Amino acid sequence: MKKAILTLVMLAVLPVALHAEEYVEKFDAQHQFNTQFSQAEQKYAFEDYKGSVKSWQKKFRAELAELLGVTALQKRYKDFVPKAKQIDSEDLGFATRERWQIWTEPTMIIPMVIIRPKVVDKKLPLCITPQGHNKNPEVYSGIAANEKERLSFETKDVDVALRAAKMGMITINPTTRAFGNTRHADELVKKKRSSCMYYALRDMIAGRVLIGDRVWDIMKIIDWATANLPVDPEKVIVTGNSGGGTVTIYAGALDQRIAFCAPSSSFCSYEGSIGSIHHCHCNYVPGIMQLCNMGDILGLVAPRKLLVINGKTDDIFPIEPAREEFKTVKAVYEAMGVGDNCELYEGDGGHRYYHAGFRDFYERKVKW
């Protein structure tokens, strides 16, 4: 046995020249990245897990929360109670549309738009719609800054929160952290769309992760809304497009109060999207592939309702690797005996929201 161990040690320290046949003749950065991805441990890859699904979820969720910095925030703010202040209100006929501010940390003020249907004889479902990379963070609520945005309501279903409100839900359209009034002062002066790079890099040196901060914001909004609005805490929905879809994915994985999760134009394998196509800084989580791939993350939503929405011609979340990665999601749901609780909806278009898919799944599978 000792001889065998010594042999292994000797092999481990021999010059890499033993593997000279693996050397590349010409450097290619993407090939280097792909090699790194293939070497990542993916500790919680569901296909390799041998224990029970619930045990896998419990261990994985805890490590994911730690990696995203959510666990540290929960410890730091264990007694923190979010507060909110109403700014204004307008009558939409079928509902009121209100502007609010919510403190998700003592120093973090998130603007949000709340739409409340007027006919309320019971507690309604709550639908939170984090916005993606929109310059106007209120566009989901049907508030257009110009004619182009107004037309996008008809052509790209951009008024996500307004459409959900018309389905009988109380909706909250929060400004995603690093957008709108939460931008850095320098970016506000320059009228930049977002301050994602500012936040992502400064979070990094503070030991935080931007997507984890955004998940925290959703958690605090749920805390406040279920305590202060006439909503059913058992009927919480989160849905958003692009960057808002990414928030939806991670929030659905970590917060089990979310009963229906519908990320749009944001799901793919890491190597098939953010690992090979230019994306915003806010998509990146240091070391995430040492834990998992994105299909494993959405496996944490099971057995709750899940609709993954992708466009067939989306050029930054390509459909083929998304389809392949969704097989992991389906495998988790089927292992829990609820295969029908998750679906992949493919819209006939590119990088946008597809309300038809959301509404169809809601009416067939959720039925609140």
DSSP 8-state code for residue 176: P
Would you state the pLDDT for residue 21? 52
Would you state the pLDDT for residue 111? 98
Would you state the pLDDT for residue 50? 84
Longest dimension (CA), the chain: 82
Query: Residue holding tokens 């998304």?
Result: 322
Superfamily of domain 44-366: Alpha/Beta hydrolase fold, catalytic domain (3.40.50.1820)
> CA torsion 166→172→177→183, rounded to 10°?
80
Question: Pick from 111, 46, 115: which is nearest to 85 by CA?
Answer: 111
DSSP 8-state code for residue 123: P
Would you state the pLDDT for residue 74? 98
- CB-count burial class (<10 Å; 0-12, 13-18, 19+) for 172: buried
In the chain, pLDDT over 70 holds for what percent of residues? 94
Would you state the pLDDT for residue 11? 35
- 332 is written with which tokens? 């988790």
In the chain, pLDDT over 90 holds for what percent of residues? 91
Would you state the pLDDT for residue 321? 98
Rounded to two decimals, the pTM is 0.93
Would you state the pLDDT for residue 49? 84
Would you state the pLDDT for residue 17? 42
pLDDT tens across 224-234, in order? 999 999 999 99
Q: What is the mean pLDDT of each run of 10 residues along the chain (368 residues)?
A: 33 41 88 96 93 95 98 98 98 98 98 93 95 95 95 94 98 98 95 96 97 98 98 98 98 98 98 97 97 98 98 98 98 98 98 98 95
Residues 6+ apart with CB under 8 A from 89: 96, 97, 98, 99
Would you state the pLDDT for residue 2? 32
Would you state the pLDDT for residue 234? 98
